[in-house]
């Protein structure tokens, strides 16, 4: 099976198998990233968020960070937790 090297934002490289699963995971995480920008902008526009809105945003940010970490480490066999 072919191998592909992904370069991270931090200048490191991650080598992984080039599979359809990886391609699907990358595409899914990229779509989620586009949506995350919109959701984060919506949250930031709230002048005084409620406790429930803050809690929901923390959960969202945790999923977003998990997606970023998966991309950086090349752990793309799944998008669980994103």
Percent of the chain at pLDDT exceeding 90: 41
Predicted model pTM: 0.71
User: If you write DSSP's letter for every residue of 18-53 in order, what string do you get?
Assistant: --HHHHHHHHHHHHHHHHHHHHHHHHHT-SS--HHH
Joined tokens for residue 19: 């599979």
Tens-place pLDDT, residues 58-77: 999 999 999 999 888 888 88
**Contact call for residues 20 and 33 (beta carbons, < 8 A):** no
Tens-place pLDDT, residues 38-51: 999 999 999 999 99
16-20, 24-28, 61-65, 76-80: least confidently modelled range: 16-20
Question: Residue ranges per domain, the chain?
Answer: 3-73
CA–CA distance, 14 with 78 (Å, rounded to integer): 16
């Amino acid at each position: 099976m072919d191998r592909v090297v992904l370069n991270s934002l931090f200048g490191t490289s991650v080598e992984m198998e080039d599979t359809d699963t990886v391609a699907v995971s990358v595409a899914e995480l990229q779509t989620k990233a586009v949506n995350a920008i919109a959701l984060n902008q919506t949250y930031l526009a709230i002048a005084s968020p409620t406790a429930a809105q803050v809690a929901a945003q923390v959960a969202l940010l945790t999923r977003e960070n998990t997606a970023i970490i998966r991309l950086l480490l090349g752990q793309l066999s799944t998008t669980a937790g994103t």
